[in-house]
Structure 1
Amino acid sequence: MCEQRQTMIVTGNGAIHAEPDQGTIQIGITTHAEQLTDAQAENTERSKSVVDRLTALGIQQSEIQTSHFSVSPQYDYIDGQQRFRNYEVQHQLHVTVKDISKIGEIIDAAVQSSATEVSAVQFGISNSSELYEHALSKAVQNAQTHAKALAHEAEVVLNQVPLHIQEEAGNSVMPYPIQMAKMSAAPGIEPGTLEIQATVTVTYSYR
C-alpha cells in the first residue's frame, strides 16, 4: 500500500528596491463655451500651447499621447427645469518623461501654458522586468527558508524539490498626487525609490 504523501504550503516574498528612471504625467485641458465650435477652438489652441511648451523642454512628440478626448453639453437644473449652460471639451494628455529631474519643471510649464489640471505623476523603471525576476528569485528562496524552518520545528524530513510553485500577481506602482492649481514655481517632486515585489506560494512534500 502506497504511503500517503504529506505536504505543506508556504508563501515566499521577495523585494527589490531601485531608483526610478522614468515617469509619466497626466495633463488635462478643459474649456467651456456656449458654442461648440468656440469650445473646441479654444481647447485646440490651449492644447497646442501645452504641447509646444513641452517639446521646447525636450519632450518628443511620440512621448505625448492623447489618452482621453470628450465633448459634452453642460446643464443647470433650476426649479426642476433642465437649462443648457455650455459645452465642455476635455482633452487629456499622457506624457512620458525620460529625464525625471525635469518633472517638476514640466508640470509647472504645462500649468503655466494653459493646462487646467495635472491629475497624477507616476514613476517607473525601464528595466522593471529584469528586476522583477530578481525579486521572484528572492521570493522562492524565502519560501524555501520558511519550509525548512517548519520542517525543523515539526521534526520531519523536507523534500527540497517543490511539488508546485504558484506565482502571485505582482504589485503596481502607486501614482504621486499633484495639487491641481496654478504654481508660481516648479514643484519639488522627490521620486525616492520604488519597491518591486514578488510573491509565490510553494508546495513541498515531507516525510
Structure 2
Amino acid sequence: MREQLNQTMVVGGTGMVSGKPDLVSIQLGITTHAAQLSDALTDNSDRSQSVIDQLTALGVSREDIQTSLFNVSPQYDYIDGQQHFREYEVHHQLKVTVRDIQDVGEIIDAAVRAGATEVSSIQFSIDNSSELYEEALTKAVRNAQSHALALAQAAEVVLNHVPVHIQETTQPQAMPFTVQAMKMSKAPPIESGVLEVVANVMITYSYR
C-alpha cells in the first residue's frame, strides 16, 4: 500500500495568450565605401548623423538610438590568385526602439532617405508582458491538470489533485514577430499583427 501511495506522474501544460505589440526594435545599417579610410569614415559619420537627426525629428528619443555594431574592413579583389586591395568598407549599425508603432513605416522610410542602406530586422514586442504571462501561466497549469485527469481516468487510478511539484519551463516573453529586409530603397507597409505570450509548466501529481 505504501508503494502505491508514492506513485507519481509528470505532465506538461501549455498556455497561450495573444497581445498587441506596443514596442518595435529596428536594426538600421549604414555602409560606405572609399579607397581612403578617412573618406569612408567621414561619409559614414555624415550619413549616420543624418539618419539620427531624421529619427529624432520624428520624435525618437536619443536614448532609444544605440550603436549595436561598428566595423571597418578592407575589401579585396582576387585576380589570378593574387589579392589586390580595392577599397575600405565601413559599416555602422543602429538599434532603434520605436515606442509608437504607428510611426514605424514613416521612421524606416525617413531613415532610408537620410542614408540608411540596410534594414536588417524589424521586431515587434510587448513592453510589459508580465500580466499576459501570468494569464498564460494559469492556462498552462489548467492544461496540465486536464492532462493528468485524462491519464488517471485512462489508467483507472485515483488522482491526488494537490500537485507534488510545479516547475515553469519557460521565461515570460512574447514570441517575437520579425520582418527581415535588406538593401531597401523604400520602406514597405509594416503591419504589427499580434504576438503570442506562451507559458509552459511541468507538474508532478501523485496517485493511488
Q: One fold, TM greater than 0.5? A: yes
Amino acid at match of 2:195: L
2:141 aligned partner = 140
CA distance in 2: counterparts of 1:66 and 1:179, whole angstroms: 18
Q: What is the identity, as a one-letter code, of the residue corresponding to 2:37? A: L
Establish whether residue 181 from structure 1 lines up as the match of residue 184 from structure 2.
Answer: yes
Q: Which residue of 1 aligns with 2:40?
A: 39
List 4+ stretches of structure 1 deviating above 3 A.
none
- TM-score, structure 2 normalization: 0.94
Question: What TM-score do the two structures reach when normalised by structure 1?
Answer: 0.94
Which secondary structure does the structure 2 equivalent of 1:37 belong to? helix
- CA deviation digits over 1:69-121, x for unaligned, max 9? 01111111111101111111100000000000000111111111110000111
Q: Alignment partner of 2:164: what SS? A: strand
Matching residue of 2:76: 75
- Cα distance in structure 1, aligned partners of 2:182 and 2:29: 13
CA contact (8 A) 1:105 1:187 kept: no
Alignment of 1:45-124 (within 5 A): 45-124=46-125
Paired residue type of 2:117: T
After superposition, the CA RMSD in angstroms is 1.4
* Cα deviation digits, residues 4-50 of structure 1 (max 9, x gap): 42111111000010110111100000001111111000000000010
1:195 maps to a residue whose letter is E
Distance in 1 (alpha carbons) for counterparts of 2:141 and 2:79: 63
The code of the aligned residue for 1:34 comes to: A
Cα contact 2:35–2:87 (8 A) shared by 1? yes
Residue in 2 that maps onto 1:21: 22
**AA matched with 1:159:** N
Structure 1: segments with no counterpart, 5+ residues: none
Q: Identify the residue that residue 7 of structure 2 maps to in structure 1.
A: 6
Cα distance between partner residues in 2 of 1:160 and 1:2: 18
- Percent of aligned pairs sharing the same letter: 61
SS at match of 1:44: helix
Q: Deviations over 1:168-207 (max 9, x none)?
A: 1356414122353201xx5211111100111111111100
Which amino acid is 1:16 matched to?
A: V
- SS state of the match for residue 160, structure 2? strand
Residues 157, 206 of structure 1: 8 Å contact kept: yes
